[in-house]
Structure 1
Amino acid sequence: MTTRIELEAMKFYAYHGVMPQERKVGNNFVVNLILTAPLDKAVMSDELEDTINYAAVYAVVKEQMEKPSKLIEHAAGRILQALKGHFPQLTAIELKLAKLNPPFGGDVYSASIILSETYC
């Protein structure tokens, strides 16, 4: 059985951006995750220790979002690596990090990076 956990629209105010002003003033960001792991035991046991704790996942993402980066690619990569480090049972991660209203002079809702990684 393949089990996927999806956490949608985790919202953060963070300080990522190439321009110094972006790292000073900040902006709104949204993180979406799909985590894949063998969670057959949780399906049967109904016990928290047999799954991936969503609150713990959120805490890892929040910790990484609090560290300013010039590029959202870098911030997303840090989140991916931190999640894999905290949850070694993960077999795949798909992460989307969106910067809302990017400051480049156009009417754009968001600019996003999507990272996917599969582990053996």
Structure 2
Amino acid sequence: MTSKILLENLKIYAYHGVLPEETIIGTYYILNVEVQANLWKAVGTDDLNDTINYAEINDIIHEEMKIPSKLMEHVAGRILKKISLKFPKVSFIKIKITKTNPPMPGEMDGVSVEIEFQS
């Protein structure tokens, strides 16, 4: 059995980007994270130890978003790595990071990077 835990539309202000002003001014990022694991035991036990603690995933995301990076890919990779190390029973992770106000001409909702990891 595979189950999913989804953190949806997590909005965090951060300072990532190649341009110097991006690391000074910052912008909002929207993150969507999907974690898959066999959580069947938690269905019966009602015990947090038998599942993936999504509050801890949220903490990992916030910690990594505080570290400025040039590339969203780099941030996503750090988040994926930390989640997989913290929760060995995770079999699949997908993360999508959207920069809501990229420094480019044109009106848009943002620019996104989506990376998947399967163990």
Alignment TM-score > 0.5, same fold: yes
Residues of 1 paired with 2:72 and 2:16: CA distance? 7
Q: Under a length normalisation based on structure 2, what TM-score does the superposition of the two structures give?
A: 0.97
Residues of 2 paired with 1:83 and 1:10: CA distance? 16
Counterpart in 1 of 2:78? 78
What code does the residue aligned with 2:56 have? A
Counterpart in 1 of 2:61? 61
Residues of 1 paired with 2:101 and 2:22: CA distance? 12
Residues of 1 paired with 2:43 and 2:49: CA distance? 12
The number of equivalent residue pairs is 119
Q: Once superposed, which parts of structure 1, at least 4 consecutive aligned residues long, lie more than 2 Å away?
A: none
Residues of 2 paired with 1:118 and 1:19: CA distance? 32
Report if the CA contact (8 A) 1:102-1:109 is conserved. Answer: no
Residue 73 (structure 2) pairs with residue 111 (structure 1): no
What code does the residue aligned with 2:111 have? A
Residues of 2 paired with 1:57 and 1:86: CA distance? 9
Give the deviation of 1:50 after TM superposition. Answer: 0.7
Deviation per residue, 1:25-54 (Å, 9 max, x gap): 111001101100111110111111111111
Structure 2 gap ranges (5+): none
- Report the aligned-residue RMSD: 0.7
Residues of 1 paired with 2:101 and 2:27: CA distance? 8
Structure 1 gap ranges (5+): none
Residues of 2 paired with 1:66 and 1:54: CA distance? 19
Report if the CA contact (8 A) 1:101-1:107 is conserved. Answer: no
Give the deviation of 1:104 after TM superposition. Answer: 0.7
Q: Under a length normalisation based on structure 1, what TM-score does the superposition of the two structures give?
A: 0.96
Residues of 1 paired with 2:54 and 2:25: CA distance? 29
